[in-house]
Amino acid sequence: MSPLTRRVLKDTYQLSKRYVFISLIAGFFSSVYPLVSIYISRRIIDLLGRNTPYETLIRFILIGLLLVFVSQIISGLFNYVHQFEQSEMYQRLELSRNLKSIAMEFRYAEDPAVKEMRQKLTIIGFGGPGSFEMIAYSIKSMVGYTVSILGAAWLILPAFSYHTGTIYDSPVFLLLFLVLLALSAYLPHRYNLKQNAKMNKLLSTVESSNTVFNYLANLVFDPESGKEIRLYRQQERVNRWFEKNTDPQGSTARMLRELVYGWGKVGLLSFGSNQGVILFLYLLVGFKGIAGGLPLGHIVAATAALNVLIAVLSELITDLSIIRSDSSGVQLHYEYMDLPNQTQHGSIPVEKRLDNDYHLSTENLTFHYPGTQRNILHDITIDFQVGRSYAIVGENGSGKTTFIKLLTRLYDPVDGAVKLNRISADKYDTNQYYSLFNVVFQDFDLFSFKLGETIATNRDFDEERIVNALRDVGFMERFNSLPKGLETSLNKEFDAQGITLSGGEQQKIALARAIYNDGPIYILDEPTSALDPISEFEIYQKFQQITRGKTSLIISHRLSSCRFSDEILVFDQGRIVQRGSHEELVHIPGKYADLWNAQARHYQEEDIDLTKLGLDNTIV
């Protein structure tokens, strides 16, 4: 048994002990009852030949029938239960893969190659040669095969060992029989291996079509893309794309045809060789019966058992070739499951401090995304003073979001370090480290759960604190109009009465979630981009109170909001090129003044009086 197969068996046992036990029992009984019935027939026929008393015969027949009946019932029952257990085990397996998807380091979660691996695993799933599912399924059949082979051998062997005093007792016949049997099993097996290689090729071709298919299926079901598809009149294009990608040049159909022909050939080959073995045994037991009195019951039992043996051998060989021919499925499974988890790094607990003295800093932070060469951040060294608020500004693509992904440890630096209280961030327990941050990402995601749960990120929540957070972000008016209050579902996936929030309202909920989290560090990436100016102004004012005594970093494109921050950090091409207050920066030529002037001109054109926003109307 290969180490990988052993690992599958161990993991299957861990996923569901019950499944393994039921498989063993179901495998045993479904194979044992055909043998029992052959054995009973043999005994009855032999007893008949020996003028056995009528009562003994009847008793034997009744006991025999009862045995067959009971083992058949047990087998049927366990096979039935096995199906349930199997589907439950598969569900657990899929769940474990899904849990892995959210446990793995974020850089893998974002990697398209890893996403493809995940899709491939489900596609290969049950039926894919060498998949985890197939090996787990084979527990039952392997037990069954063992029982059948041993039982059939026990029923066939007397045909060879029975002493008739003729030439047919010679062990040469047994040897010849075994050779023929081995050949009849081996030849189709070899051919099967080739077939499975073809099958895997077909699956990998289908897989790219499936990626497109899944993408398109999501596209057509997603109401968001539904808007674009209609307004940009994309229906035809989606249709053509779909047709083109599902079976490029009909190659999958051709491959499938070849596979079917191949299976036909395997069938013919095994049928031919099996008939050879059967003919051999029939002739032998026939001659032994005529010449040396081999009992009729033995003849019937041996020939019937041979049919069982041949059928089982061919199934066994097929299964073995499926399991072993190409273990790409199970290899892929473990490649995926063995990707490093985010929490596998540090172990130092984050100190609980009431004074919020969590000091965040970076040293020579340098970073490029995995699989790329271009540095996105260069050598950034900065100390964030506890309790101070920072505005991060810069053109699109200057590395602001990437910087916060590194501060929050979604990615590890290529060089340099992020530090918390002067200790490298990756030394800390990941979950405890995460809990320090109240984050609103630019592309934040709200799950379709109930409002209360969504904000608290937990089923148990403090209602009063949630309502306070909702008040802070200016959501109260809307909240009061919700009949189910915090029990209102977001979106309609799980609840037809769920509410659909506008972009601005969603942003308010994401902000409320950050406030409720109440960690010592706020990181907000364009948190108010979808809000109207009045809501934005109010929220920024509120945030000054909320973040008092805490460190806060706010990325913002609206430079007018920078006045709420103690210090502005200007990013340009992955570097912090300027830092200071608005007053300090706006009067000196540089990136900040450029950004400011561009925006101030816009404000002037719009006739917005900046002095009302607490700024002067300076243009350098």
Contacts to ligand ADP by CB under 6 A: 110, 369, 372, 376, 394, 396-402
- Which of 454, 561 has the CB closer to ligand ADP? 561
Is the Cβ–Cβ distance between 387 and 567 less than 8 Å? Answer: no
Q: Which residues lie closer than 8 Å to 166 by C-beta, 6 or more apart?
A: 287, 288, 291, 292
Rounded CA separation 302/285 (Å): 8
Spatial distance between the Cα atoms of 270 and 480, rounded to a whole number of angstroms: 74
Q: Which is nearer to ligand ADP, 226 or 397 (CB)?
A: 397
Specify the residue, 137 or 571, whose C-beta has the smaller distance to ligand ADP. 571
CA–CA dist 604, 584 (Å, integer): 21
Comparing CB distances to ligand ADP, the nearer of 110 and 247 is 110
Residue from 131, 133, 197, 137 nearest 330 by CA: 131
Q: How far is the CB of 412 from ligand ADP (least distance, A)?
A: 14
Closest separation in Å from C-beta 405 to ligand ADP = 7
Question: How far apart are CB 369 and ligand ADP at their closest, in Å?
Answer: 4
Nearer to ligand ADP, 11 or 110 (CB): 110
C-alpha to C-alpha distance for 319 and 142, rounded to whole angstroms: 9
User: Using alpha carbons only, what angle is made at residue 246 by residues 240 and 251, rounded to the nearest 5 degrees?
Assistant: 120
Q: Residue 411 Cβ, how far from ligand ADP at the closest point, in Å?
A: 9
Helix (H), strand (E), coil (C) string for 318-378: HHHHHHHCCCHHHHHHHHHHCCCEHHHCCCECCCCCCCCCCCEEEEEEEECCCCCCCCCEE
Closest contact distance (angstroms) between CB of 320 and ligand ADP is 43
Nearer to ligand ADP, 310 or 376 (CB): 376
Nearer to ligand ADP, 308 or 569 (CB): 569
β-pairing verdict for 437-440 and 551-555:
unpaired
Query: Which residue's CB is nearer to ligand ADP, number 407 or number 490?
Result: 407
Instruction: For residue 288, count other CB atoms closer than 10 A to its CB.
Output: 24
Closest-CA residue to 529 (of 611, 471, 443): 443
Beta bridge partners of 456: none
Closer by beta carbon to ligand ADP, 195 or else 401: 401
Q: Whole-angstrom Cα distance, residue 316 to residue 191?
A: 14
- Comparison of 198 and 557: residue with beta carbon closer to ligand ADP: 557
Least distance CB 531 / ligand ADP (angstroms): 19
Q: 14-21 long-range contacts, Cβ below 8 Å, gap at least 24? A: 15/89, 15/92, 15/93, 15/96, 16/85, 16/88, 16/89, 16/92, 18/85, 19/82, 19/85, 19/86, 19/88, 19/89, 19/136, 20/139
The residues with which 424 forms a beta bridge, in sequence order, are 419
- The CB-of-372 to ligand ADP minimum distance in angstroms stands at 5
Dist. CA 402–CA 400, nearest whole Å: 5
Minimum Å gap between C-beta 375 and ligand ADP is 10
The least CB distance from residue 103 to ligand ADP, in Å, is: 19
What is the nearest approach in angstroms of ligand ADP to the Cβ of residue 377? Answer: 8
Sign of CA dihedral 489, 492, 496, 501: positive
- In the bound state with ligand ADP, the residue whose beta carbon lies nearer, of 280 and 369, is 369
What is the spatial order of strands in the sheet that 377-384 belongs to?
A: 377-384, 360-367, 415-420, 423-424
To ligand ADP, the closest distance from the beta carbon of 349 in angstroms equals 30
CB of 391 to ligand ADP, least distance (A): 13
Q: Where are the alpha helices (DSSP H) in 222-295?
A: 223-231, 235-246, 251-292
Q: How far apart are CA 416 and CA 76, in angstroms?
A: 64
Radius of gyration of the chain, Cα coordinates, nearest whole angstrom: 36
- Residue with Cβ nearer ligand ADP (247 or 395): 395
